[in-house]
Structure 1
């Protein structure tokens, strides 16, 4: 997701803080070293020196990349395998499906695939301001895309569906905020409300960034301790951090991707107080930016089905670790 528009304004500069993940990342270094070397070897074949990328096409208000009406991501689409072939979607939708047996039986996970493939058709609706607890922002944005036109909304749905399958196979009840089955949105306040009303044991919002070329890697966004207006994240700030740390650690290990080189001071963690999806949450919740769609090397990963399966697996292992305590 681009850091422009609702829930995506540029984060204010923060002084570096050493948190619990510092030790966690240190502990992961031996296990992740081989994956990181493979990551660099593969990424170095992805193109020449990083230069300034062409700026994303912007919508009048949100400033996020806008899909073309002819872009296939403008309509609901199935998941894809590593060769881009369609995989029929799971029958579960926003209501989830009955949990099977497994170690996560009785646990509820809410997955929030960022944006919506059809948002660009509903600019009036998504530009409407909603309460995010501390102030008001636009309902939603169109999201960003790779320079070749692979939309963030397409990426988030694919990873979310893969993640759902993994968690359901372990017995969890999984609910979506949207499954490509809505004409637009939902708004950021509703996305938070869906997790709250489900009494989720964990919630995650899946995104990809739209930063400058040369900015690479993933980062997990944690809610700051906010107590202002209708927002009060104090009860879930610590548990959300624990969730985010587990996800960041497993994402490094499973995908071989490195933490962001432009946010988070190498920890893979960023704390923000300006996101309605976090400010309004009453359950443990984090966002993950899986990579930068505007960097050619990250884009090569984000558009690869095999890597997206690793991303889903990495996220799932972090969630499972958190839920098992």
Structure 2
């Protein structure tokens, strides 16, 4: 009985690797998914079972504490400052940066779109950014039912635990002092969830919306809500001139949404697994290590060394 309970509450590192990797698209230049692997030739991920996993945006004191308490596998969104000396032996660290930003923040986030009232199957992907034709930076879709702006705003803020940098075009105290009548009763027809917020991206959203019948024209877009991360003044000004309502939730806040969603997915797939979610702010760590030949700058050059740190020349 005890053995059966233990097996039901554990998962192999190989199964966790495969499940998490399948969440993300493969993107050129992304960080290695197997960011840190155990320093042991006898390590076998298929036969190494764990009862817990830790998820964090960055390596923090809480992340290391979870590892040192016995958690043998972790995930990082921004792993760049991982101190490998703090990673216990036989621990595996997984990482994803570009793919995470694309599908688990305010970008081509199908799960978030569904929760906000869109039908993701009918949404239109905004693809191509900064010279990368494959990079998806967002989606635009019609609401299943036309809904008052106040209700949609409430859904958005609920998803992000009430945190935001600014809500614009709603005519209340959250709208950063905008001098306009209350617009909470406006009816929204469509939502854009976007990972970029410049006039060029706003124009692309307007063009897609008009081409697909979401808006009558590009100059009157008060039926459109633009959900993004950080406030960008040129993009905000351009949007408001065209009547678009905007909610900027903040860069860190949308990353936290991604960690929470990953945790939900893991608990659904591996019900007996303990999932630690760490939301500490990262503390700066010393980047220089003193060696026999003086100070050497440590570079996480994982691409060519199987996860081992390499000292720069």
Structure having the larger proportion of residues in strand:
2
Larger radius of gyration: 2
* TM-score interval (norm. to shorter): under 0.3
The one of the two structures with greater contact order (alpha-carbon pairs below 8 A, sep at least 6) is: 1
